[in-house]
Amino acid sequence: MNAAPSRTVRTTCPYCAVQCNFDLHTEQGLVTRTTPTRDCPVAHGTVCKKGLSAPGDLRHPDRLTTPLLRRDGQLVPVGWPEALAYVRDALTPLVQSAPQRVGVFGGGSLTNEKTYLLGKFARVALRTPHIDHNGRYGVASASAALNRTFGLDRGLGFPLDDLPRSDLIVLVGANVAETLPPVMQYLKAARNRGGAVYAIDPRVTPTAKVAGRHLAPRPGTDGVLALGLLHLMKQWGRIRPTAPAHGLSDVLWHADDYPPARVAHDCGVPEEELIVLARAYADARTPLILTGRGPEQHTHGTDTVQAWINLAFLTGHVGKQGGGFGTLTGQGNGQGGRQHGQKNDQLPGARSLRDPRHRAQMAAHWNIPEHQLPQPGHSAQELLNACGDPGEGGLDALIVLGSNPVVSAAGAGQITERLKALKHLIVIDFLPSETTQLATLVLPGSMWCEEEGTTTNLEGRVQRRRRAMTVPGAAREDWRILCDLAHAVGRPHGFTYPTFRSLQDDFFLATRGARADYSGLSAERLDRASAQWPVPRADGPDTPLAYAPTYPTPDGLATLHVPRLPAPDLAPRALRLTTGRLSGQYQSGTQTRRNPALKGANAAQIHPDTAHAHGLRAGQSVTLITAHGQATLPVTLTPGIRPDTLFIPPFHWPGAANLLTDPAALDPHSRMPGFKVTPVTLRPAPAITANSAPERATPHPTSPALQP
């Protein structure tokens, strides 16, 4: 047999939502070198360390290459016929008699085509209402606020190239330097053209250092800050709404209750610093507000983001070049992943599962009776909380694709026990994870450059992902596995695609006429150039500016909502735990923790004064205790953090952050858990080195043991 020829394949990064392009150089069917793509429409020839190191994981010794079935408590290798026979015997009785007892959990890094197919599989093959994904833990609150306001969620409604046109960029809880590194070139370009950049964050992050202007409110008070700015804009005569809209008067009246003295007190910032920021915003011609996970990952995250949208809209800056509002999607295909069917209430094209017209459209496309489409089921955290529950609303089986909820879900200790209580846990993945360790069946899937597809980046730009190599061993491409599962449960209708291209064409067509319309796209068009959705015509333009009036609402108008925010916790000497991502890691670390080129310390960042008050030294270990669990981490002294705030990485490592967060309290609009603010107490523990893993991490004493 002849060796595979050398090739160069252009594709997209598997990591963050910038979706940089790079060229993969292959020899004998394996990737040997990576070079950034100079004509990349997003990053213009830059790629961060994570992207450049990504090929190092492709043939990792831990790579899953054969199905694994649990026997006598152990996962043992089996062939595909035996694995699919298990699926048939385990799921077919449930699918036929109690489909609501089966759940599906996806991921925000799946391609658009896999997102579409996973939602179709859940609703057409399994006929379960219970499907959601880990994107619910990211940008969901901003997504909910945008949809409530404009009837549309496209994250950034403008190209990244517009950022340098802004004369003021306000980053609200968005540590771009560590989470979306290639975007820093746009912030620096704005500064080089005379613009200002403000970082609003309880820490002096690497982004804040570059920005040069920083305001550090208490975690959880970002919405109060926005209301205070709106109050001053009204007082100073800067109210000039972008367009007629519902709710303008109510929102403006509500802002009267947030004068500078109250806002400074509640946010824990000097009043004069608040006034400086307000003056900068009032005087800017093209101010731009960008939110990240900081204001969003709260049980009031939707209302917090709503407050910032209100500010941008009422000052006349939404929908124009260089100004307005946008939210920074984090995961690789976070935007496409929340549009095409794996959210519990959504059908492809960002259609609503509750809308009779949308339901009829998709039923017709899938050639099934409309009544067979289930209504919305559990959201992500509720779905995981229901696992193994024998009562009404509980689940007996769960299928997981491209996610590691044992690490990423709130209340990880409790969620671990819920997954262990399932009769059937089927996980499709390419590397072992904390979730695969609990599975009854593990199916080896495909990695990013072993499959075709499209991804949608943070500015709504759709790009091609191209295959550079084939899956190893007995692994299969994820889309083929989903079709195999549909056949195994006796529902092959709609899951017999002769080629990937036929699946891709089905996906594009399924979005026709929807708000997130991709029907004008094709692989050939995307080979010529990327495109920002909606793209309804093959011979027509794309849509760089998404939030210009009129809006895809019944009357074409936006609707502003009065933010309902809780009173901040002002208890003296109270400590609040908050979380954030690190530049060297990604999501739950299934890939990046294995990559020797990527590092990052799983440590608790504490202000020196706080450490001194608790008798702590740098490198000493400290036990963090909340109402939900406890974890022990080494201490890093961080002068740039608020003294009333502790910071740890969110879910790059198991057995730490999410043992401490609440699995029950959820945002009423987005169903987001409260990741960002958790009351915490400290207890010194025996010293460990700053770069080591946590000495120990346990659930709350009332919870069962964490280890399987």
Q: If we measure between CA atoms, which residue out of 146, 137, 62 comes closest to residue 105?
A: 137
Cα angle: 137, vertex 141, 144; to 5 degrees: 125
Min mean pLDDT across 449-453, 651-655, 682-686 is at: 651-655
Query: How much is the average pLDDT of 397-422?
Result: 93
Provide the whole-model pTM.
Answer: 0.93
pLDDT at 75 over 90: yes
Which residue, among 622, 624, 625, 638, has the nearest Cα to 687 in the 3D structure?
622
Domains located in the chain, CATH noted:
68-137+336-514+523-529 (3.40.50.740), 140-327 (3.40.228.10), 576-699 (2.40.40.20)
The mean per-residue pLDDT over the stretch 685-692 comes to 53
Per-residue HEC secondary structure of 259-300 comes to CHHHHHHHHCCCHHHHHHHHHHHHHCCCEEEEECHHHHCCCC
**CA distances in angstroms from 521 to 333, 489, 497, listed in the order given:** 17, 32, 19
pLDDT at 652: 63
User: How do 424-429 and 397-401 pair as beta strands?
Assistant: parallel
Cα–Cα dist 122/131, whole Å: 7
The per-residue pLDDT for 708 is: 24
CB 504 within 8 A of CB 453: yes
Q: Which residue, among 348, 202, 314, 170, has the nearest Cα to 267 in the 3D structure?
A: 202
pLDDT band at 703 (very low <50, low <70, confident <90, very high): very low
What would the mean pLDDT of 96-119 be, rounded to a whole number?
Answer: 96
- The string of pLDDT tens digits covering residues 542-552 is 999 999 899 99
Best CA proximity match to 333, nearest among 42, 119, 14, 29: 14
Q: Is the pLDDT of residue 702 over 80?
A: no
Go through the chain and tell me how many residues it has.
708
C-alpha distances out from residue 647 to 33, 296, 686, 701, Å: 36, 16, 20, 23
Residue type, 395: L
Q: What is the DSSP letter of 588?
A: T
User: Of the given ranges (286-290, 301-305, 323-327), which has the lowest mean pLDDT?
Assistant: 323-327
Residue 587 is predicted with a pLDDT of 62
Say if residue 117's pLDDT is above 90: yes
Q: How many other CB atoms are there within 10 angstroms of residue 586's CB atom? A: 26
Q: What is the DSSP string of 604-663?
A: EEE-HHHHHHTT--TT-EEEEE-SSEEEEEEEEE-TTB-TTEEEE-SSSSSSSGGGSS-S
DSSP strand pairing (287-291 vs 324-327)? parallel
Question: Which two three-digit tokens encode residue 158?
Answer: 């403008």
Give the type of residue at 484: D
Buried b (16+ CB within 10 A) or exposed e, 524-554: ebbeeebbbbbbbeeeeebbbebbbeebebe
- pLDDT at residue 251 is higher than 60: yes
- Looking at every residue in the chain, the average pLDDT score rounds to 91
Cα-Cα-Cα-Cα dihedral sign, residues 377, 383, 386, 387: positive
When pLDDT is averaged across residues 598-626 and rounded to a whole number, the result is 89
Report the 10 Å Cβ neighbour count for 354.
12
How many C-alpha atoms does 87 have within 13 Å on its Cβ side? 30
Of all residues in the chain, what percent carry a pLDDT higher than 70?
Answer: 93
Query: Tokens for 230?
Result: 């709106």
- Residue 691 has what pLDDT? 45
Interhelix angle 301-314/222-235, rounded to 10 degrees, is 20
pLDDT at 640 over 60: yes
Specify the DSSP class assigned to residue 666: B
In the structure, what pLDDT confidence band is assigned to residue 4 with cuts at 50, 70 and 90? Answer: low
Judged against a pLDDT cut of 50, whether residue 701 lies above it is answered with: no
For 436-477, give the DSSP string. Answer: GGG-SEEEE---GGGS-EEEE-TTSEEEEE---SPPPTT---
N-term to C-term CA, the chain:
46
Query: Any bridge partners for residue 231, and if so which?
Result: none
Do residues 190 and 164 touch, judged by C-beta distance below 8 A?
A: yes
Mean pLDDT, to the nearest integer, of 414-432? 96
**pLDDT tens readout for residues 229-239:** 999 999 999 99
What is the pLDDT at residue 698?
37
Q: Characterize 246-273 residue by residue with b for buried, 16 or more Cβ atoms within 10 angstroms of its Cβ, and e for exposed.
A: ebbeebbebbeebebeebbebbbbebeb
Q: What is the mean pLDDT of residues 591-606?
A: 72
Long-range contacts of 42-47 (CB under 8 A, 24+ apart): 42/18, 42/160, 42/182, 42/457, 42/459, 42/461, 43/18, 43/182, 43/185, 44/185, 46/20, 46/182, 46/185, 47/13, 47/20, 47/22, 47/182
Q: Which residue has the tokens 């199905």?
A: 67
> What is the pLDDT averaged over residues 678-696?
64
Instruction: Tell me which H or E stretch contains 69.
Output: strand 68-71
Is a pLDDT exceeding 50 seen at residue 465?
Answer: yes
pLDDT at 416: 94
Cβ proximity of 528 and 462 under 8 Å: no
Higher-scoring residue by pLDDT: 142, 648: 142
Contact 650, 579 (CB under 8 A): yes
Q: Are 219 and 575 in contact (CB under 8 A)?
A: no
- Residue 33 to residue 82: CA distance in whole angstroms: 38
For residue 590, name the pLDDT band (cuts at 50, 70, 90): low
**What average pLDDT does range 18-30 have in this prediction?**
89
Question: Mind listing the pLDDT tens digit for each residue in 433-445?
Answer: 999 999 999 999 9
Amino acid, single-letter form, for residue 22: F
Q: Are strands 697-699 and 629-637 parallel, antiparallel or unpaired?
A: antiparallel
Q: At what angle do helices 140-150 and 301-314 cross, to 10 degrees?
A: 50
Question: HSE on the CB side for 636, CA within 13 Å?
Answer: 16
Q: In this predicted model, what pLDDT tens digit does every residue of 342-394 receive, in sequence order?
A: 999 999 999 999 999 999 999 999 999 999 999 999 999 999 999 999 999 99
Cis peptide bond prior to 704, omega within 30° of 0: no
Angle at 22 between CA 17 and CA 26, to 5 degrees: 130
**Neighbouring-strand partners of residue 637:** 606
Q: How far is CA 172 from the centre of its chain?
A: 16
User: How do beta strands 74-77 and 68-71 pair?
Assistant: antiparallel
User: What's the rounded Cα separation, in Å, for the pair 232 and 637?
Assistant: 36
Helix, strand or coil for residue 584? Answer: coil
Q: Where are the alpha helices (DSSP H) in 109-241?
A: 112-120, 140-150, 176-179, 184-192, 206-211, 222-235
Q: What is the pLDDT of residue 29?
A: 83
Query: Whose structure tokens read 């996906």?
Result: 507
CA 697 to mean position of chain CA atoms? 25
Per-residue burial over 675-706, b = 16 or more CB atoms within 10 Å of its CB, e = otherwise: bbbbebebeebebbebeebbeebbbbeebeeb
